[in-house]
Structure 1
Amino acid sequence: MNLFVATLLAPLLGGVLLAVIKDPQRAAVFNIATGIVTFAVSLLLALEVLDTRAVDAMNGWFHLDAYNVFLVVLTTFVSMTTSIFSMPYMRHELETGRVDLPRLRLYHSMFQLFQFGMLLGFTTNNIGVLWVSLELATLATVLLVSLYRTPASIAAAWKYFILCGMGIALALFGTVLVFFTSSAILGHGNIALSWTALYAHASELDPAVMSIAFCFLMVGYGTKVGLAPMHAWLPDAHGEGPTPVSAVLSGLLLNLALYALVRCKMLVDGSTGTDMAGAIMMGFGLLSLFVAALSLHRQRDIKRMFSFSSIEHMGLMTFAFGIGTQLSTFAALLHMTVHSLVKSGIFFTAGHAAQAMGTQKMAEIRGLIQHQPGIGWGLLIGVAAIAGFPPFGIFTSEFLLFTAALESCAWTTLPLLLGLLIAMAGLFRFVQPMVYGEPPATATSVHVNMVPVYIHFGLALLPGIAIPLFLADWYQQAATLITMSAIAGGGGG
């Protein structure tokens, strides 16, 4: 598994080396090169795993299957394009004095260490190490959120650290409860925390203990997902941190927390033989959808507004995984893909818009299409895509989700539709005046790199027209793996 070792070590070594590269231009180029290498190797790794269905690495400490290797590729791709975007963006922040050279080195180093934490979490076969990797990724992004060292950014970083620290503590207690029941069957060694061993013996785990454990895991990991009512950290972290950090927070970190939650649901389904875990996820998903949709109408900051859009879509994914059928899981995986692509692309565009207008206040951002057409059209197209307009892939995933909801719990389709309409109205209410009209006299021209934006939106458009066969097979493999425990346990809506 040399490809696996290379995938994991590339960002780790890159982060260490970037901490000592003083020249900002060389550091930016090396950051991009590290991202390209990591993505290329992860793609080769995915092809190898899909050919064999599942692979264990390093004496069973790591496990790769269709579900997590798909997320590995998505993570490395978005990290690569974000590093490309961040080169002109962070250069502008350096030139305007918002960051200095030491903090720019910190940014590049923590960016790669964040990616390492993400890849470690997705590939580990130990649910304890999964918990540690989430904490590692969180600590890296806490330093990135506070990069500007303003009172607001430091306050946002502390809020992020404290709330997510409380959440991760609850997830740790849930993990301890899982170990409590698994150790009676598998012994007190590392195997009692091995996900593949737990999954194989899920029916033997104490259902009462697993039910209690899932409640703690749901609140703990749900805090990291950004689900309501544990979402308070997310808008502040997005609003005060650099835009590339917002892109990877929404596009990647939330995915890892949801991945952990779904893995835990698979164990609980196999243990309890009920759809209890799925019902809880559906409830949190619907609540998050409505809280985010209504909150969108009260925002004044462009990045905070799109952070609530992330909460909305994470709620949709949680709801879809909660239904637990093959179709809903397929829809959730597709939605996870296109959301990561579109939302990171939107944050790229919003970051350039804020630099051009000198502010993140939406009331002061006007005439983007006239001032810099690339930014204006990018923002407008991105909002149409994230709102679920055809032919973008989010329309396809939401259509599949509605179909799955009609088949399993038809009453949920009305609140789903209502929540999506409220959210769409909130987005277009603010975006329309930002892109049209006359730009303010204070607007300045900035050097932008819209290539990552076009790539992301182009890839998000593809599933809305026709899902490529290899991608559909990939999702199908992952959906089958995830839903097997629900079917065996009598779940699935």
Structure 2
Amino acid sequence: MIGTPLPPEAAVLLVPLAAAALLALLPGYRLSARINVVASALSLLAAAQLLFHRPGAGALLFVDDLNVVFILLNTLVGFTTSVFSASYIGHELEIGRLTRGYLRFYHAMYQLMMFGMNLALVANNIGLIWVAVELATLTTVLMVGIYRTHEALEAAWKYFILGSVGIALALFGTILVYLAAQPVIGEGPEAMVWTALIGRAAEFDPALLNLAFVFLLLGYGTKVGLAPLHAWLPDAHAEGPTPISAVLSGLLLNVALYALLRFKMLLAANPGAIAPGPLMVTLGLVSLVFAAFMLYRRRDIKRMFAYSSIEHMGIIVFAFGMAGPLGNFAGLLHMTMHSLTKSAIFFTVGHIAQVKGTQRIAEIRGLTESHPVLGWSLVAGVAAIAGLPPFGVFMSEFLVVSSTFARAPLLALILVFGLLIGFGALLLRVTGLAFGTPEGRTGPVRASSLPIFAHLALVLGAGLYLPPGVVAWFQNVARLLG
């Protein structure tokens, strides 16, 4: 995309949309997989251009420091997942779990999903954000059920039902925001343009904004995977293809969080509205503590890491609920580190499930002996997501805990309690998975480990050194969030 007249904000939308249309027509797996990777790479290049080219806000699209963080992360993980997916899905084809017809559908849906998520991130219209999140949800629902087993279809149906309830609540909240803006801005699409809304949010009816945020928090909170709205997430991770598990944990949860943050900014700009922080802090802590205990009861390796995603989204929502320059900075950093780390873990788990022929934890032992690369990659990934130094998650969790201790020591104690419970569960599980006498099949690993190493290297590098430019960028976003 560099050097072309197509604006980068348009390229991050048109590239995946055009690729989806093309992939729907191509029957060959190898060509489709390569086009999927190339399209994802072009989307990443277009997103990188947004660091240097910031278009003016229009009625439909706009770009600022906040959504550039999300867009870059979205396209980066989308690209690395497409690389991982090429070999992973090829193996699924070889063993007969997928057919060539389903693969054509899979690649087209992958790019359509990327289009939906990118659209939600660059949209300047709160109604368009809602439509884009719904599009991304529907495509992932279809991909979760792609194996067509009873369990996969049940998981997809559960995801669809609970996601529909959440998106309906979010729609009602969006309508209430429009009704609050209408007397001030006037009727029509202008009353749904976010840049217009944030400029005059102080004049809106605070009672309507308060009610709207409750519905938006419940609606988009369902997509974020916050407890007790999380029930779809473990099933979707366990039964869908592993690349979709990586995208769900690393990207789609962030997109719903982004929508929630935009509405939080509206509420914060109205002096008569309730403070959104306490609601987010409460849901964040409930999710953290609940998921930490649930980690001990999992018997499926992908389901276990799904609960780890619920735990970490709780930490992120908690950090943004505490707000302030340090809380918002910690939330952004933790979101970035979690996306990179959790997707690397799911890449590893996908390879493990293929070589072992199972996802059951009890049937996987001694990976560092039987498959050293996978075993030590899993150990590194779990060490990173558990918050051990020198990985970047340690830095972000340290900032969340230290900033909370300075402002609300009691909340900090609950936070640390949840973190320790989750740490214990992950340590218990990874010990059995990685060490001891190998059990189960010992087939060769036939897929690339490069995406795993790339993500873990980024997380390790961020823990050792954050470039001043990145720090300044995140600090500016933290100030925008209030």
Asked whether the equivalents of residues 206 and 273 of structure 2 are also in contact (C-alpha less than 8 Å), the reply is: no
Structure 1 residues 271 and 94, CA, compared in 2 at 3 Å: closer, same or farther? same
- Counterpart in the other structure of 2:39: 34
Letter in 1 for 2:328: T
Asked whether the equivalents of residues 59 and 125 of structure 2 are also in contact (C-alpha less than 8 Å), the reply is: no
How is 1:45-444 mapped onto 2 (pairs within 5 angstroms)? 45-49=50-54, 55-57=55-57, 59-273=58-272, 276-444=275-443
SS of 1:309 mapped into structure 2:
helix
Asked whether the equivalents of residues 246 and 347 of structure 2 are also in contact (C-alpha less than 8 Å), the reply is: yes
Over residues 159-189 of structure 1, what are the superposed CA-to-partner deviations in whole Å (9 max), with x where a residue is unaligned?
0000010011001111111111101111111
Shift of 1:296: 0.3
Unaligned runs of 5+ in 1: 50-54, 484-493
SS of 2:448 mapped into structure 1:
coil
Over residues 214-256 of structure 1, what are the superposed CA-to-partner deviations in whole Å (9 max), with x where a residue is unaligned?
1111100000000000000000000000000000000000001
Name the CA distance, whole Å, in 2 between partners of 1:29 and 1:174: 41
1:25 corresponds to 2:30: yes
Which of residues 7, 10, 15 is equivalent to 1:10?
Answer: 15
Name the CA distance, whole Å, in 2 between partners of 1:343 and 1:65: 26
Shift of 1:77: 0.4
Name the CA distance, whole Å, in 2 between partners of 1:15 and 1:418: 45
Name the CA distance, whole Å, in 1 between partners of 2:398 and 2:370: 36
Letter in 1 for 2:221: G
Identity, in percent, stands at 49
Asked whether the equivalents of residues 242 and 350 of structure 2 are also in contact (C-alpha less than 8 Å), the reply is: yes
- Counterpart in the other structure of 1:471: 470
Name the CA distance, whole Å, in 1 between partners of 2:203 and 2:407: 28
Shift of 1:88: 1.0
RMSD of aligned residue pairs (Cα, Å): 1.1
Structure 1 residues 235 and 277, CA, compared in 2 at 3 Å: closer, same or farther? same
Over residues 271-305 of structure 1, what are the superposed CA-to-partner deviations in whole Å (9 max), with x where a residue is unaligned?
24466211100000000001100100000000000
Letter in 1 for 2:137: T
Shift of 1:383: 0.1
Asked whether the equivalents of residues 284 and 315 of structure 2 are also in contact (C-alpha less than 8 Å), the reply is: yes
SS of 2:63 mapped into structure 1:
strand
Asked whether the equivalents of residues 62 and 122 of structure 2 are also in contact (C-alpha less than 8 Å), the reply is: yes
Name the CA distance, whole Å, in 2 between partners of 1:455 and 1:403: 29
Letter in 2 for 1:436: F
Name the CA distance, whole Å, in 2 between partners of 1:321 and 1:442: 44
SS of 1:388 mapped into structure 2:
coil
Over residues 428-448 of structure 1, what are the superposed CA-to-partner deviations in whole Å (9 max), with x where a residue is unaligned?
111111111222253322302
Shift of 1:340: 0.4
Letter in 2 for 1:324: A
Name the CA distance, whole Å, in 2 between partners of 1:102 and 1:420: 44
Name the CA distance, whole Å, in 2 between partners of 1:16 and 1:444: 37
Name the CA distance, whole Å, in 1 between partners of 2:360 and 2:20: 33
Shift of 1:60: 2.9
Name the CA distance, whole Å, in 2 between partners of 1:403 and 1:440: 42
Name the CA distance, whole Å, in 1 between partners of 2:40 and 2:370: 32
- Counterpart in the other structure of 1:489: none
Name the CA distance, whole Å, in 2 between partners of 1:48 and 1:63: 12
How high is the TM-score relative to the length of structure 1?
A: 0.95
Over residues 418-469 of structure 1, what are the superposed CA-to-partner deviations in whole Å (9 max), with x where a residue is unaligned?
1001001111111111111222253322302110000000001122112111
Name the CA distance, whole Å, in 2 between partners of 1:197 and 1:459: 37
Name the CA distance, whole Å, in 2 between partners of 1:479 and 1:379: 32
Unaligned runs of 5+ in 2: 1-5
Asked whether the equivalents of residues 46 and 70 of structure 1 are also in contact (C-alpha less than 8 Å), the reply is: no
Name the CA distance, whole Å, in 2 between partners of 1:229 and 1:289: 11
Asked whether the equivalents of residues 145 and 241 of structure 1 are also in contact (C-alpha less than 8 Å), the reply is: yes
Over residues 346-375 of structure 1, what are the superposed CA-to-partner deviations in whole Å (9 max), with x where a residue is unaligned?
000001001111000000011211111111
Shift of 1:2: 1.4
Asked whether the equivalents of residues 36 and 107 of structure 2 are also in contact (C-alpha less than 8 Å), the reply is: yes
Name the CA distance, whole Å, in 2 between partners of 1:296 and 1:47: 42
Name the CA distance, whole Å, in 2 between partners of 1:60 and 1:218: 25
Letter in 2 for 1:96: I
Letter in 2 for 1:140: T
SS of 2:62 mapped into structure 1:
strand
Name the CA distance, whole Å, in 1 between partners of 2:16 and 2:273: 40
How high is the TM-score relative to the length of structure 2?
A: 0.97
SS of 1:56 mapped into structure 2:
coil
Name the CA distance, whole Å, in 1 between partners of 2:140 and 2:226: 18
